[in-house]
């Protein structure tokens, strides 16, 4: 009987038994029951299919790239990281996570293929955290973001991948206290580990001071005509969007000059119609988490938005179709009062920039402490009201509104009210028991508000746990240290007991 | 060399924010407005009965409270300002204009509002949003903010005259001071030392920390004095250097370098002379637009991203070395300053490897008390310059 139950309904959710000591690597995959394992396996195959297809389409560049760029190795183990973030999930949350990840993987492979095969004179470089939608207006040219593939994605799927770039930058002389993400960007340029292609490029001041300065290093390596698109910092200023629309006009002149192409506003309109549609569905998806049975959870929720926003520019039709499907599933799950975990007890909001090397922290919170993360700050990048798109001027304003509220930047820039006051509004909407505040030590903007968060949370009687982390450098604060901080909070402040005691402390420091 | 007549008075002025001249102006009914960054047009804070003072925290000791509200990773200056604010050190300021140009200073100033550090119902805090590039659309955007975030609150809350006449008068007064400061700065090109780097640093600081109208006569008198000042016959300095970098509002840093034997002949840092004293031309119908143009164009802040500005600010270092007959460049970055942390490193490499000019990059703390290591670095750099000089001499022979 027990065997049949196990076969049909899967392992009991005690994840620790799958881990190897020291690395946290899996000894074996989780058996989720027949149906869920088949679903999981199906998507696993699809992901691999995408990767294999990529290699088949461009075998020589792909193999060459594996030996030329160290980050290619990290991309090859990316599916492992996805598995971590799906731990313990069943039914709808599992399916949605898989659907979202599959979209990301498909798009990642497509981007990688473009990057490997596109001719330099037919590519336009854009900076990490820039929104590429505006480049849709230049036909016949491919927007490429080599830094996203060299630094950002690897930092999520392999905690060790940024080490080399960070070390190179510090050896070069840049102080160790700067944010490691732009630091690694600069490092990838110093180390000559980014694919250098493009007839011209667009650099950006987003999201922070560090990334502005890292652009100096990347631009120097790229050595191509570069337009510095400067998104207003105080984007709520009455004149800010008008200014940025003007800046876009200058950018368009620049692109026309360097590509020899006339800018096509129709393409931009089409793209922003899709942005409007995706935003609308996004709000509906998060709306389901305001109920008593939230199921839109985990890295699959926020990473999908980050990728869709920053890489596809929210203009990919496949992402939209996926949104429609996931929304249906979510609504059905809410109707059926489906739970993410049978022992779930707490609702939480994850605020501030999450830790890339511990993207699957929410899965651990769920399986160890029964915490369901009902909202993640990175999950709602962009300007979410419906944007008017009737004239060229309105299209540029839509681009301005969208870009200036880019990932991380939307909350962390433009004044404390965007991140501090916004949190309390989210608390009113999502009714969390806990707020996990990701305290990114090297983020000077957010670090300067941690005390005010704490004091304001005390005044509002909100339980707030600051979780120190260093975004992409796990040597500063390891995953284990992060868990330790949360464990103490859960024991002492929440007076809770873990639902899986074996997960409270384990060593995964040496793992990917 | 004989001490400058007012130098000790200037030093006394720098010892506290609410100094003799600020007090005098306040008692006369003038309104003080604080600012935190070169991007803020100090000129416009001097219209009508207003005067601008750059926020400083002289004689900072402990920064525990500032650190509590910001973080260990915030730069010393931002923490020191919050600390001084918590000590009610800016009680005389009627408004503060910051610039969202650096996250740390931005957060520091936000605490003035969140913690209500200035007890004044009319107190206002505004942030300018200054883009990181140049262009007509940038000037217009910035000029609009000058009106809405500086002039309008000053008028609405304190009845300050912000008419075009008042603005043009402020430009005139500022241009007069700028011309004098330029003339003084030019004296540093001379082989003979007429004014030391420390003295220049002190002059720069008093100009920024005191009411414009009250400090101008002292600068005028100092200029006249310098014109006839007899330099020492013997040069006690071992090398002439250019200092480039971030915030440095304690002249004792320069004093420390000069005590080591490095004469600072050009100062291209926040609170320095270069840039900041250029002539302000009103070329547009709207004087505010011209002022925006002036401040954006002369700024050499590393956050500017466009190629032209980047190349200009790096090439300028080579020009300064030539014009001021310097032998090396010291790049300084206030610890935890992201902008200068990156810029210092790249600029040092470019200066050494592309321009062939000896350079060193150092990190400084906000207060000179914690800068023992800096002395060692400067001494080593001077020795390096001397060795190069000797080697060059041998090569020529």
* 3-class secondary-structure state, position A86: coil
Cβ atoms of A355 and A469 within 8 Å: the answer is: yes
> Which 3 state secondary structure label does DSSP give B365?
coil
* Contact criterion met (CB < 8 Å) for A243 and B333: no
- Quote the distance between the C-alpha of residue B310 and its chain's center: 20
**What pLDDT score was predicted for residue A130?**
85
Q: How many CB pairs under 8 A join A and B?
A: 148
SS3 labels along A264-293:
CHHHHHHHHHHHHHHHHHHHHHHHHCCCCC
Q: Is residue A220 scored above 60 in pLDDT?
A: yes
**Of A97 and A11, the one with more pLDDT:** A97
Q: What is the pLDDT of residue B393?
A: 82
Q: What is the pLDDT of residue B122?
A: 96
The predicted-structure confidence for B342-390, as pLDDT tens digits, reads as follows: 999 999 999 999 999 999 999 999 988 767 788 999 999 999 999 999 9
Smallest Cα distance from A177 to chain B, Å: 6
Strand order in the sheet with B50-54: B50-54, B31-35, B93-99, B124-128
Quick count: other Cβ atoms within 10 Å of Cβ A34? 12
pLDDT at position B370, please?
A: 65
The span from the CA of A264 to the CA of A259, in Å, is: 13
- pLDDT for A8: 75
Percent of chain A surpassing pLDDT 70: 99
What are the start-end ranges of the H helices in chain B?
7-14, 20-27, 64-69, 76-86, 103-114, 136-145, 152-158, 164-186, 197-209, 212-227, 252-259, 287-298, 307-323, 338-349, 372-396
Q: Nearest by CB to A445, from B107, B114, B302: name it.
A: B107
CA distance B72 to chain A (A): 9
> What does residue B70 show for φ and ψ, rounded to 5 degrees?
-100, -115
Contact criterion met (CB < 8 Å) for B133 and A238: no
Query: Which A residues in the span 191-220 are in contact with B, Cβ-Cβ below 8 Å?
Result: 203, 205, 208-210, 212-217, 219-220
- The pTM assigned to this predicted structure is 0.94
Residue A243: closest C-alpha in chain B: B141
Per-residue pLDDT tens for B255-279? Answer: 999 999 999 999 999 999 999 999 9
What percent of chain A is predicted at pLDDT more than 90?
Answer: 86
The per-residue pLDDT for range A427-460, each reduced to its tens digit, is 999 999 999 999 999 999 999 999 999 999 999 9
For B108, the closest of A213, A239, A448 (CB atoms) is A448
| Confidence at B33, pLDDT banded by 50, 70, 90 | very high
Tell me, yes or no, if B312 comes closer than 8 A to chain A by beta carbon: no
Quick one: average pLDDT of A370-380? 95
How confident is residue B392, by pLDDT bands cut at 50, 70 and 90?
A: confident
Q: Which of A485, A480, A487, A481 is nearest to A501 (CA)?
A: A487
DSSP letter at B151? I
Q: Write out the two tokens for B203.
A: 């002059």
At B101 the pLDDT is 87
Tokens of B156: 């609405």
- Please state the rounded mean pLDDT for residues B90-110: 95
Contact between A250 and B135 using a beta-carbon 8 Å cutoff = yes
Task: Compute the C-alpha angle B349/B351/B356, nearest 5°.
Answer: 110
The pLDDT mean for chain A works out to: 93
pLDDT at B396: 60
State pLDDT tens for residues A92-101. 999 999 999 9
* Tens-place pLDDT, residues B13-25: 999 999 999 999 9
Q: How confident is the model at residue A76 (pLDDT cuts 50, 70, 90)?
A: confident
Is the model's pLDDT at B104 over the cut of 90? Answer: yes
Instruction: Give contacts of A416 with chain B, Cβ < 8 Å.
Output: 107, 110, 114
pLDDT band at A26 (very low <50, low <70, confident <90, very high): confident
Is the pLDDT reported for residue A2 higher than 90? no
- Cβ of residue B76 closer than 8 Å to a chain A Cβ: no
Indicate the pLDDT class of residue A11, thresholds 50, 70 and 90: confident
- Does the pLDDT value for residue B36 go beyond 90? yes
CB contact under 8 Å between A212 and B132, yes or no, is: yes
The pairing of beta strand A371-376 with beta strand B359-364: unpaired
pLDDT tens digits, one per residue of A261-281: 999 999 999 999 999 999 999
Query: What letters, b where the CB count within 10 A reaches 16 and e where it falls short, cover A358-383?
Result: bbbbbbbbbbbbbbbbbbbbbbbbbb
Which residue, B344, B311, B318, B316, is CA-closest to B330? B344
Q: How far is B131 from chain A (nearest CA, A)?
A: 6
- Residue B316's pLDDT is 96
Q: Cβ A441–B132 below 8 Å, yes or no?
A: no
CB B221, CB B244: distance < 8 Å = no
Q: What is the mean pLDDT of residues A340-355?
A: 94
Residues of chain A found within 8 Å of residue B349, distances taken between Cβ atoms? 172-173
Using CA coordinates, name the residue in chain B closest to A249: B137
A339-367 average pLDDT score = 94
* A residues 331-390 closer than 8 Å to B (CB): none
* pLDDT at residue A80 in the model: 77
pLDDT at A366 over 90: yes
Of B42, B298, B300, B287, nearest to B143 by C-alpha is B287
Q: Mean pLDDT throughout A472-485?
A: 96
pLDDT at res. A445: 92
- On the question of pLDDT at B397 being above 60, the answer is no
- CA of B37: how far to CAs of A189, A262, B143, B383, in Å? 31, 41, 16, 34
Instruction: Return the closest-CA partner of residue B204 out of B272, B142, B260.
Output: B272
Split at pLDDT 50, 70, 90, the class of B38 is: very high
Contact B336 A175 (CB under 8 A): yes
Look at residue A511 in the predicted model and tell me its pLDDT.
82
Q: Among B111, B141, B310, whose Cβ lies nearest the Cβ of A216?
A: B310
pLDDT score, position B217: 98
The residue behind tokens 């703390």 is B365
State the pLDDT confidence band at A13, using cuts at 50, 70 and 90: low
**Rounded to an integer, what distance in angstroms lies between the CA atom of residue B152 and that of residue B163?**
11
pLDDT (average), residues B141-150: 97
**Residue B395 pLDDT more than 90?**
no
Chain A positions in Cβ-Cβ contact with residue B331 (cut-off 8 Å): none
Most A-contacting residue of B305, B343, B349, B350 (CB-CB within 10 A), to test interface? B305
Residues in chain A with CB shorter than 8 Å from the CB of B138 are 243
Provide the 10 A C-beta neighbour count for residue B83. 24
SS3 of residue A144 by DSSP: strand
Asked whether the beta carbons of residue B129 and residue A237 sit closer than 8 angstroms, the reply is yes
The answer to whether residue A364 scores a pLDDT higher than 60 is yes
Q: Would you state the pLDDT for residue A14?
A: 66
CB proximity A224 to B under 8 Å: no
- Which A positions 309-328 lie with beta carbon below 8 A of chain B? none
Count the alpha carbons within 13 Å of A416 in the hemisphere toward its beta carbon: 25
The per-residue pLDDT for A67 is: 93
Q: Structure tokens of A242?
A: 């008008």
Burial class (CB in 10 A: 0-12, 13-18, 19+), B148: middle
Q: Which of B92, B117, B82 is nearest to B20 (CA)?
A: B92
- Name the average pLDDT for chain B: 95
Q: Give the mutation candidate from B129, B312, B314, B348 for the A interface (greatest A CB count, under 10 A).
A: B129
* Beta strand spans in A281-414 (E): 346-351, 371-376
Q: Which three-class secondary structure state does DSSP give residue B319? A: helix
Residues 109-148 of B with CB under 8 A from A: 110-111, 114, 127, 129, 131-133, 135, 137-138, 140-141, 144-145, 148
**Which residues are bridge partners to A200 per DSSP?**
A124
Interface touch A178/B342, C-beta < 8 Å? yes
Pairwise CA distance, residues B136 & B117, whole Å: 37
Q: Please say whether the beta carbons of A85 and A373 come within 8 A.
A: no
**Chain A closest-CA separation from residue B15 CA (Å):** 27
- Helices A180-190 and A209-222, interaxial angle, to 10°? 10
């Amino acid at each position: 009987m027990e065997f049949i139950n196990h076969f049909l309904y899967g392992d009991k959710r005690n994840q620790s038994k799958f881990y190897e000591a020291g690395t946290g690597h899996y000894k074996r995959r989780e058996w989720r029951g027949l149906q869920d394992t088949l679903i999981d396996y199906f998507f696993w195959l699809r992901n691999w299919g995408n990767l294999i297809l990529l290699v088949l389409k461009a075998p020589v560049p792909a193999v060459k790239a594996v030996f030329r760029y160290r980050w290619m190795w990290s991309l090859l183990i990316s599916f492992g990281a996805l598995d971590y973030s799906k731990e313990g999930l069943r039914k709808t949350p599992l399916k949605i996570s898989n659907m979202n990840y599959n979209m990301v993987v498909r798009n990642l492979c497509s981007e990688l293929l473009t990057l490997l095969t596109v001719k330099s004179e037919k590519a336009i470089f854009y900076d990490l955290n820039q929104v590429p939608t505006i480049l849709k207006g230049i036909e016949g040219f491919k927007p490429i973001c080599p830094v996203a593939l060299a630094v950002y994605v690897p930092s999520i799927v392999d905690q060790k991948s940024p080490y080399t770039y960070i070390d190179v930058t510090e050896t070069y002389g840049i102080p160790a206290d700067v944010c490691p993400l732009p630091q690694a960007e600069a490092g990838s340029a110093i180390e000559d580990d980014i694919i250098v292609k493009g007839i011209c490029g667009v650099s950006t001041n987003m999201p922070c001071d560090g990334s502005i300065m890292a652009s100096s290093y990347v631009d120097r390596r790229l050595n191509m005509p570069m337009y510095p698109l400067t998104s207003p910092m105080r984007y709520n200023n009455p004149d800010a969007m008008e200014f940025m629309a003007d800046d876009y006009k200058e950018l368009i002149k620049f692109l026309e000059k360097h590509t020899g192409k006339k800018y096509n506003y129709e393409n931009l309109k089409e793209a922003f119609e899709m942005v409007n549609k995706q935003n609308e569905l996004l709000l509906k998806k998060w709306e389901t988490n305001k109920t008593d049975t939230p199921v839109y959870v985990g890295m699959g929720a926020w990473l999908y938005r980050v990728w869709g926003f920053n890489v596809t520019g929210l203009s990919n039709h496949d992402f939209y179709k996926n949104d429609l499907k996931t929304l249906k599933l979510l609504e059905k799950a809410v109707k059926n009062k489906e739970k993410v975990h049978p022992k779930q007890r707490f609702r939480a909001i994850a605020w501030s920039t999450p830790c890339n090397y511990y993207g699957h922290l929410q899965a651990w919170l769920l399986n160890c402490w029964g915490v369901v993360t009902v909202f993640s700050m990175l999950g709602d990048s962009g300007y979410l009201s419906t944007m008017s798109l009737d004239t060229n001027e309105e299209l540029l304003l839509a681009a301005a509104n969208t870009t200036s509220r880019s990932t991380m930047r939307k909350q962390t820039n433009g004044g404390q009210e965007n991140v501090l006051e916004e949190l309390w509004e989210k608390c009113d909407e999502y009714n969390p028991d806990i707020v996990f505040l990701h305290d990114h030590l090297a983020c000077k903007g957010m670090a300067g508000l941690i005390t005010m968060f704490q004091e304001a949370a005390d005044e509002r009687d909100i339980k707030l746990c600051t979780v120190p982390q260093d975004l992409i450098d796990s040597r500063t604060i390891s995953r284990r240290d992060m868990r330790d901080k949360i464990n103490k909070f859960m024991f002492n402040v929440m007076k809770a007991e873990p639902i899986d005691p074996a997960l409270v402390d384990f060593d995964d420091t040496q793992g990917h | 060399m004989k001490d400058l007549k007012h130098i000790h008075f200037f030093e006394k002025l720098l010892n506290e924010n609410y100094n003799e001249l600020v007090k005098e102006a306040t008692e006369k009914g003038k309104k003080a407005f604080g600012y935190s960054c070169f991007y803020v047009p100090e000129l416009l804070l001097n219209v009508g009965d207003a005067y601008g003072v750059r926020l400083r925290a002289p004689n900072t000791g402990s920064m525990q409270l500032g650190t509590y509200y910001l973080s260990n990773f915030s730069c010393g200056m931002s923490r020191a300002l919050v600390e001084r604010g918590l000590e009610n050190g800016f009680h005389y300021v009627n408004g503060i204009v910051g610039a969202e140009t650096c996250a740390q200073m931005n957060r520091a100033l936000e605490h003035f509002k969140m913690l209500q550090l200035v007890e004044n119902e009319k107190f206002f805090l505004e942030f300018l949003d200054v883009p990181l590039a140049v262009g007509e659309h940038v000037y217009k955007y910035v000029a609009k903010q000058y009106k809405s975030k500086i002039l309008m609150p000053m008028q609405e809350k304190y009845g300050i005259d912000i008419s075009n006449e008042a603005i043009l008068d402020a430009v005139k007064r500022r241009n007069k001071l700028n011309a004098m400061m330029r003339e003084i700065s030019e004296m540093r090109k001379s082989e003979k030392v007429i004014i030391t780097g420390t003295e220049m640093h002190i002059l720069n600081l008093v100009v920024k920390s005191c009411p414009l109208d009250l400090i101008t006569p002292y600068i005028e008198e100092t200029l006249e004095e310098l014109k006839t000042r007899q330099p020492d016959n013997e040069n006690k300095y071992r090398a002439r250097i250019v200092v480039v970098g971030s915030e440095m509002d304690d002249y004792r840093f320069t004093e420390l370098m000069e005590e080591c034997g490095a004469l600072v002949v050009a100062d291209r840092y926040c609170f320095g002379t270069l840039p900041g004293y250029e002539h302000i031309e009103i070329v547009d119908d709207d004087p505010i637009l011209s002022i925006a143009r002036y401040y954006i164009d002369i700024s050499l802040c590393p956050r500017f991203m466009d190629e032209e500005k980047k190349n200009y600010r790096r090439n300028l270092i080579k020009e300064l070395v030539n014009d001021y007959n310097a032998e090396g460049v010291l790049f300084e970055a206030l610890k935890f300053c992201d902008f200068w942390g990156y810029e210092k490193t790249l600029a040092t490499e470019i200066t050494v490897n592309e321009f062939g000019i000896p350079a060193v990059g150092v990190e400084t703390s906000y207060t000179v008390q914690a800068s023992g290591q800096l002395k060692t670095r400067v001494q080593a750099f001077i020795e390096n310059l001397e060795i190069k000089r000797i080697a060059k001499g041998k090569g020529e022979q």
